[in-house]
Structure 1
Amino acid sequence: MKAWKQFSEKVLVLGLARSGTAAAKVLLENGKNVIVNDAAAKYDDVAVLELQKKGAHLVLGSHPLSVLEGIEVVVKNPGIRYDHPIVAEALTQNIPVITEVELVSYLTQQPIIGITGSNGKTTTTTLVTEMLNQSGCNVKLAGNIGIAATEVAQTMQTDERMVIELSSFQLQGIDTFRPSTAVLLNIYEAHLDYHGDLESYVNAKCNIFKNQHADDYLVYNVDDPTLQEKVMNTKAKKIPFSATKNLYQEGAWIDDIHVYFFDEAIVRLEDIVLVGKHNLENILASVAAAKLNGATNEGIQHVLKTFSGVKHRLEFVGMLEGRYVYNDSKATNTLATQKALDSFKKNIVLLAGGLDRGNEFDELIPHLQNVKAMVVFGETAPKLERTGKEAGIQVIEHASGVDDAAKIGFSLTDAGDILLLSPACASWDQYKTFEERGDIFVQAVHTMN
């Protein structure tokens, strides 16, 4: 654990929300001179009043460049892009710009399991946490799926370890952050509006292992050619996983009957309740990370025999007059929707649409064979309609939002069909978060019972 005296004395926290508020609190509690700048926050907000009481200097309502005067480091909210005027000016002045997760190494020296990837982060983070908990290990959950990493790190005991879900936004802003076990699930073109280009996005993801040492572990998907090339630069012990290769001397893999870790059979495939080929990759990564951190086979088996998915990620909503309803609102890109579609052999009515980031959806076409109808909504509705027509789908309806789409979609199903919300797009054109979008869909489904 690093001493706080090593950290800069005058800090700008740019953007509050959960991570910014947590960063400001921990910096103030450790004697730093903190300026908080947020355009949306109000001076009478509870969190703002608390920071002011702790000694923060507040600049709210706008982003004047003057807040950078005398600043030695900027801690920015992960969602704030690097072309933001203050961030861009800070970089021009050679002021370091980091994210809240970088502060973790000043708060704890306990083991950290860091998990990232374009898809599957939340499922894998949940699985690893549950596998370790069921094995009697003391684990704390942090990051996008839990509470801010700094809040968790402050309360960790000597026998605990942290499991943290990490986005590319967070990882681009690290300097010395180092997980003892890093998990890199996959790399797929995403968030290019934020990162600017694919190379920058890939490099941000690969920051997860840039500070690892020879006694650390890097669990990675050997079937992903981008990762295979990138991990050649790691100093950590490489532990590959694969749904296609026999890795009995190297890592996690499967045959027709079992999931293995090296040459040890861990669980029978037929006992796993989580559906989808993509989830099999998440399971392999989870088994590897859990075993490396002390999980028992019994603990792993219990989780895989009972865990049916996280909320909004291929979440089984229930049966509705013989139809199987799934909420996959967390599918915010085409790869996630491809994997959802490939998880089912039955006829599917697909509900899709959302924020237009400039991409097309041609990659979905080979995965639409089982789709009998589509309901499209949001900014990308015209693009998705074109994609559906190119795939030969005859019935394509437009909806005003997911609640409307649920009703229209249900009217297009027959008993035994799948009603699937898997938007392939971010939610921000109509909804604050993918969680809000998924909750509205689930509520709409329940009102039809």
Structure 2
Amino acid sequence: MSLDYKKVAVLGFSPRTGLEVVKYLSKFDLKIIVADSKNREELKDLIVQVESKKTEFDLGTNGEKILESELIILSPGVPYDLEILKEARKKGIETISEIEFAFRQSEAEIIAVTGTNGKTTTTELLGAMLSDLEGNQVKVAGNIGIPFISIIDQLQPGEKVVLELSSFQLEAVEQFKAKIALYLNYSPDHLDRHQTEANYQKAKKNIFKNQKEDDFAILNYDDPYLLKLKDELKADVLGISSEFEAADLLINQQQAYFRKENLSLLNFDKIDLPGEHNRKNAAFAALAAYLAGQKIDKIQQAAENYKLQSHRMEVVGNQKDYLIIDDSKATNPDAALKALTSLEQDVILIAGGQDRNADFSNLLPVIKEKVKTLILLGETADKIASLLTDSGLEIIKAETMEAAAQIGAKKLSQDKILLLSPACPSWDMYSSYKERGNIFQKNVIKNID
């Protein structure tokens, strides 16, 4: 591959994406401007990996140096509407995401996965289903934690890559095109970043950008927004549903049935994935794998062997065999709603976290129906409590996850489930949902009598 630029800027020197983009650019005969609002001391461990005569750092500033470049590549954490980027675009400097840049540098065939919830599970399942696809090397990358740019040298033309894509990655694409694009579900999210729901919708819809009639778009027809979206797309649209009989792939408790070809893609009786939402995730992956050329027996085998990652409806083992579930990955109300609706017993729910202006209105009726004790913490604790003042629920506020887990453990019994499903991100108190979940697990086990 070649790059016809003399100077390229990377805005957002993150330890994954930003670093990998700079490493890739370092292979070419060009100057690199690395810009970040963090200072040199904060980024010293990354700088030492790429520092050279080619690289100029603009750190701890608003990034004005990037205006000297011919191309600006954004890390996912950098908002597309920054004033410095608006100024760059006025000057005619192209501003693109790492996903867009990697796409231009690769000739791989892309299967792209987006949605508000379930992206990682579906991407992992699909990667597993395609892992031994005949004649193809299949890689998995994107929002799953592996920058696309870091694997493009490993992909030959025509080989397949499964990309998990967030709205952050999709908002700055232009030429990006997926052969198969999956849109799992929709609910408003990341409004602190996108400002309006329309902006969020626009970013996510870019997954279908540039698709043609011989490409595939797979949609969740049980989602009202996505059902309407199908009429706007140029690709061959296939719908998945557990309710809509005219859908192409029908899901029930037993199977995922592909009407178009009169065959069953999955037998759920042998697959250990809790909740209707995870059955649907598996169905999305199965249909995409089948369209990519995989055999049904290999699709089924991969689904049977798959285990959910930690902190995604993870059952926490304990000495009394109480049902304790760590769903710390539920970082928005819709994810918590799915967790609650998949459970049949009374629930002790631990919720709350960073306030991102989320809408809890759809979650509240399910909390009233399913939850007996609600333990709240974080920035949203007071907000959620105020919305349930007339519910008759036992509502307890905790200052820390350690305290919340202790309270939950003391209230546990064989006829109740303790569920951590926060409906909010963790960043007001913890570095990640994983840290939050680990603290929950450690302390709930410690406090079971």
TM-score, with normalisation over the residues of structure 1? 0.92
Q: How has the CA–CA distance of structure 1 residues 135 and 251 changed in structure 2, closer, same or farther, with 3 Å as cutoff?
A: farther
Deviation sequence 1:329-366 (CA, Å, 0-9, x none): 11111111100100100111111011112345232122
User: Which aligned pairs between 1:95-244 and structure 2 lie closer than 5 A?
Assistant: 95-133=93-131, 138-157=137-156, 160-244=159-243
Distance 1:264 1:343, change over 3 A: same
Residue 445 of structure 1 aligns to a residue whose secondary structure is: helix
1:379 aligns with 2:376: no
Q: Does the CA-based 8 Å contact 2:241-2:251 persist in structure 1? A: yes
Cα displacement (A) at 1:130:
1.2
1:384-399 matched pairs, under 5 angstroms: 384-393=384-393, 395-399=394-398
Q: CA deviation at 1:103?
A: 1.6
C-alpha distance in structure 2 between counterparts of 1:54 and 1:312, whole Å = 43
Q: 1:256 to 1:412 in 2, by over 3 A?
A: closer
SS, match of residue 294 in structure 2: coil
The two structures have a TM-score, normalised by structure 2, of 0.92
AA in 1 matched with 2:373? A
Q: Do the aligned residues in 1 keep the contact of 2:313 with 2:326 (CA within 8 Å)? A: yes
Question: AA paired with 2:257?
Answer: Y
Note the C-alpha offset of 1:138: 3.0
Deviation string 1:257-307 (CA, Å, 9 cap, x unpaired) is 321123201233322210112112212211111111122222222233343
TM-aligned CA deviation for residue 421 of structure 1: 0.8
* Residues 94/437 of structure 1: CA separation in 2 closer, same or farther (3 Å cut): farther
1:252 paired with 2:252, answer: no
d(CA) in 2 for partners of 1:54, 1:126 = 39
Query: In structure 2, do the counterparts of structure 1 residues 265 and 155 end up closer, same or farther at CA, with 3 Å as the change threshold?
Result: same
Cα contact 1:317–1:442 (8 A) shared by 2: yes
Aligned to 2:407: 408
Judge which range, 42-51 or 123-132, deviates more: 42-51
Deviation, structure 1 residue 28: 2.5
The residue type paired with residue 384 of structure 1 is I
Distance 1:425 1:109, change over 3 A: same
Structure 1 position 41, deviation (Å): 5.0
Please give the residue correspondences for 1:428-439 in structure 2 after superposition, counting only pairs within 5 Å. Answer: 428-439=427-438
Supply the distance in 2 between the matched residues of 1:196 and 1:316 (Cα, whole angstroms): 36
* Gaps in structure 1 of 5+ consecutive residues: none
Secondary structure in 2 matching 1:392: coil
Contact map agreement 2:346 2:371 (CA 8 A) in 1: yes
Q: How far apart, CA to CA, are the structure 1 residues paired with 2:327 and 2:161?
A: 27
Give the distance between the partners of 1:422 and 1:209, measured in 2 at CA: 31
Counterpart Cα distance in 1 of 2:415 and 2:305: 24
Residues 31, 315 of structure 1: CA spacing in aligned structure 2 closer, same or farther, 3 A cutoff? farther
Runs of 4+ displaced beyond 6 Å: none
Per-residue CA distance 1:114-166 (angstroms, 9 max, x = gap): 10011111111111111112656632110121311100112124574211110
CA RMSD of aligned residues (A): 2.2
State the distance in 1 between where 2:444 and 2:214 align: 49
Mapping 1:59-74, distance limit 5 Å: 59-65=58-64, 67-74=65-72
Mapped to 2, the partners of 1:191 and 1:334 lie a distance apart of 12
Q: Tell me by how many angstroms 1:30 deviates.
A: 2.7
> Does residue 71 of structure 2 align to residue 81 of structure 1?
no
Contact 2:349-2:418 within 8 A present in 1 as well: yes
CA distance in 2, matches of 1:144, 1:445: 30
Seen in structure 2, the aligned counterparts of structure 1 residues 294 and 444 have a Cα distance that, compared at 3 Å, is farther
Counterpart residue number, 1:12: 9
Residue identity opposite 1:47 in structure 2: L
